[in-house]
Chain A
Amino acid sequence: MKDSLILQDLHATLDGFNLKNVNLTIPKGSICGLVGRSGAGKTTLIKVINGARFLMSGDIIINGNTYHDDELNIRQNMSTVYDVVDLNPFTKPKGLLKAYKNNHPNFNEGLFNHLKNMLNLELNKSFKKLSLGMQKKVMLAFALAVEPKLLILDEPTIGIDVVDKVNIYQMVQSYMENEDNAVIFSSHQVDDVEKISDYIAFIDQGEIVLFENKETLLSSYVYCNLDKDNPHVSLLEAPRKTAFGVEGIMKQGEAQKHQIAHQRASLEQIFMHICGKERS
């Protein structure tokens, strides 16, 4: 099995939100950045991947298994860190550590201690006394310490300072040294995703509007800023009027063919032009 996650024709309704015809294949050994605006459906999709019970139709295959056939195997080899830590606020991380040691056969205490030192984790305070950033770091350390084959991170860098953010990227990259592993990294901060992802999925209003290898995506599009009277304005994808004319992204081939002045498009510019339209 060369793919870590396969989503096929997924339609789901969860918490009043619809996911429509989601198709995604994430190969082993890759990091997929799931990018979308707030409320685009990132967390809903992650919940569905985690086995939320309101799946309407379609298939979820995780490391060759489905929830129907082998839920135990999936749970044992997948970890998720959600955007918000939803635990009894009086829980202390050291209590959770005990639970992981007793309940999770893959838990690597040595690795956890290494991560604890790297991220300066506080284990003796209850979760309600920890900052959002510290809560997320604690949960991330637990998620990595069970050595999952699929790691899902939902907005992992919110509330995290720059130093810890770099540490987290390093941790994720160390985790990816095992080529059987894969990561889904959701964020609405495009620059975070661009730094570490191999694949990019743009999600908008519950639909995957683009899924592409990052390098292919970045080399496919160029950024152009044209006068409003320029005859090539019609070639721009999702054009936006500015004070100086019209800006937009364009297929690299089109720009070269028509010898239009352009520059390399950043992921943020591509995202802005594909998902930045006003919602109806």
Chain B
Amino acid sequence: MRYFQYYNLLRFMNLTKQGLLFTGIFFVLHLIIYQTFFTETHVFSVTPLFVFLFSIFIMHLYRFQTFHDVKNIQYQFPLDYRSRTKLEFISIFFVAIAALVIWIIFIGAIVLLFLALSVFQSSGDTPATGGTLLELVYSLAHHLVILAFIFPLAYVKRSKLRYLIASISVIALFIINSIVMISAKQAFNQLTDVQTYTSGYFGEVLGSLSYAEGIVWGYLILSVMLVVISYWVALKLNRY
């Protein structure tokens, strides 16, 4: 309940250009990685994890501006650094869920509208299932790593350091995903004699690795640990 009261404060905030460049650059870079490794056709699509990625960065913008401008209305209320950090962390998930619900309602409304106008015709194809569990867990872990890197950066005072750490996160995630992808492609090609795999998509090849489950669940555990460390670092940076 306390969170919803805090959210009320958040919506009074006046977003400015401050921090927009950083947010824009690294959102686009992580989006490119997301499109490269996690979408089947490399065509832009709104998935729950895309919404989560968006929430990480939009909340980064809010937190950055709050942290760097003491004129923010939040500072007129009895919140200390601990409660601000906690509520700002919760906000990422809250915004993701809220945006997803709005998106689903929007899509539902569009479909209903088309149905009402009798324009919508079923092609008879079954809708895409959205990939395997392994793929889902892997991409979730990937996004948790992004969260872990980006969350404390709003509280870093030195601009160059923020850009440096964010750049490291982009490079690290690109390398990790590339290694896993190349290994999985090789395994896939060994299993299937008929053709050489060319499409860049985790979902199709990840299961080809004999140790895929180990990698995926290990990556998830590692990402959760990184999020915990990230929260702790954010608390340290946010305190007076």
> In the bound complex, how far is the Cα of B8 from the Cα of A99, in angstroms?
7
Interface residue from B11, B14, B70, B81 paired with A52 (Cβ < 8 Å): B70
Smallest Cβ distance from A137 to chain B, in angstroms? 16
Which residues 19-67 of B have a CB within 8 angstroms of A? 67
Query: Would you give the shortest CB distance from B191 to chain A, in whole angstroms?
Result: 55
CA distance A228 to B239 in the complex (A): 58
**Does A75 make an interface contact (CB < 8 A)?**
yes
Given contacts A82-B71, A99-B9, A102-B5, contact A75 B77 (CB under 8 A): yes
Within 8 A of B (CB), among A204-256: none
A53 part of interface (Cβ distance < 8 Å)? yes
Q: Is the interface of B mostly helix, strand, loop or mixed?
A: loop
Q: Which of B67, B70, B75, B78 contacts A72 (CB 8 A)?
A: B78
Q: Find A87's partner among B8, B12, B78, B80 (CB 8 Å cutoff).
A: B12
Using C-beta atoms within 8 Å of the partner chain, give the interface range for chain A.
Answer: 20 to 34
Bound Cα distance from A91 to B9, whole angstroms = 11
Whether B12 contacts A53 by the Cβ 8 Å rule is no
* A39 interface contact, C-beta 8 A: no
**Residues of chain A contacted by B8 (CB below 8 angstroms):** 95, 98-99, 102-103
Whether B14 lies near A76 (C-beta < 8 A) is: no
Query: Interface digits, A54-70 against B, CB 8 Å rule (1 contact, 0 not)?
Result: 10000000000011100
Residues of B within 8 A of A (CB): 5-6, 8-9, 11-15, 67-73, 75-81, 83, 157, 239-240
Q: Which 5 A-B pairs have the closest CB atoms?
A: A67-B240, A76-B78, A71-B80, A52-B70, A72-B80
Chain A interface (Cβ < 8 Å from any Cβ of B) = 47, 50-54, 66-68, 71-72, 75-76, 79-80, 82, 84, 86-89, 91, 95-96, 98-99, 102-105, 142-143, 146
Q: Given A72-B79, A87-B13, 17 more contacts at CB 8 Å?
A: A47-B71, A50-B75, A71-B240, A72-B78, A75-B76, A75-B78, A75-B79, A82-B71, A86-B73, A87-B12, A87-B14, A88-B11, A89-B14, A91-B12, A99-B5, A99-B8, A142-B76
